[in-house]
Amino acid sequence: MTALLQVQNVNIHYGDLQAIWDTSLDIPEDRIVSIIGANGAGKTTLLKAIAGALTPSSGKIIYRGREINGLKPHQILALGLSLVPEGRRIFPRLTVLENLLIGAYASKARRKRKQTLSSVYDLFPILAERANQLGTNLSGGEQQMLAIARSLMSDPEIILFDEVSLGLAPVVIKTIYQRLKEINRSGVTMVLVEQDIQRSLKTADYTFVMQKGQIVLQGMPGKLTEKEVKKAYFGI
């Protein structure tokens, strides 16, 4: 199994504060990998660094055999790596359709935007109905769908999801997870950062548990015992 994305011995600092300590992980192609951990464990920081929004102070991030740390977010996106940020980050003064079109801003994605748009509308029909409304007029669940759809518009090979279910109703979360599995089956590798341990373990092919800026446990969800996960998660 070849790794699509490799993080090797990465350290990340915010000023004098170290958030990530010597972290390494491999993301295999076509799989769903989850990263779980308590608040402040460094999950978001790690995703931001992979997407280029933060620069690691040391270590390597390798995507398809190419070192990408130091590249700008728009360069990394053009290589096929997309991040769905925490809190959805819908552009408030843009309509749903405009938000989606911004997702296809990179020139390669822009050429096939019509085709991508229709497949995205098939996946989330509500977005077609609401195309001309402002993105912020949607409900929380619909906004999350928009954020996922906007990321798909860039025609990515791998998507990093940061807290995709945070603050949403269980029935909405269920729908979104069904869609995520469909997207994965169409050949998109996924990294899910989640606080919802149960759902995360149920969906993922492989799981990493982070605590205080380090990976403390990893394995296939079926092989990890609840006791091990709890211990790693809470550090007790």
Q: Minimal distance in Å, beta carbon 82 to another protein? A: 8
Selected binder of another protein within 31, 60, 89, 179 (CB under 8 A): 89
**Options 94-102, 121-129, 198-206, 221-229: segment touching another protein (CB under 8 A):** 94-102
- Footprint on residues 51-70 left by another protein (CB under 8 A): 51-53
* Structure-block tokens of residue 19: 């958030």
Looking at the Cβ atoms of 6 and 95, the one nearer to another protein is: 95
Q: Are 137 and 128 in contact (CB under 8 A)?
A: no
Helices (H), 81-165: 96-103, 107-111, 113-123, 125-129, 140-152
Binding mask 159-198 for another protein (x = CB under 8 A): ----------------------------------------
> According to CB under 8 A, which residues from 1 to 30 bind another protein?
none
Q: Which is nearer to another protein, 120 or 209 (CB)?
A: 120
List CB contacts of 227: < 8 A, sequence separation 6 or more: none
Q: Is there binding between residue 92 and another protein (CB under 8 A)?
A: yes
Contact flag: residue 43 with another protein (CB under 8 A): no
CB closer to another protein, 123 vs 134:
134
Sheet holding 58-63, edge to edge: 17-28, 3-14, 58-63, 66-67
Q: Quick one: CA torsion of 196, 198, 200, 201, rounded to 10 degrees?
A: 150
Nearer to another protein, 70 or 235 (CB): 70
**Is 114 an interacting residue with respect to another protein (CB under 8 A)?**
no
Q: Judge contact between 12 and 46, C-beta under 8 A.
A: yes
Query: Nearest Cα to 208, choosing from 222, 226, 221?
Result: 221
- What distance lies between CA 179 and its chain's CA centroid? 14
Give the nearer residue to another protein in terms of CB position, either 63 or 233.
63
- Name the residue type at position 226: E
The residues binding another protein (CB under 8 A) are 51-53, 72-74, 77-78, 82-83, 85, 89, 91-94, 98-99, 101-103, 105-106, 109-110, 150, 154
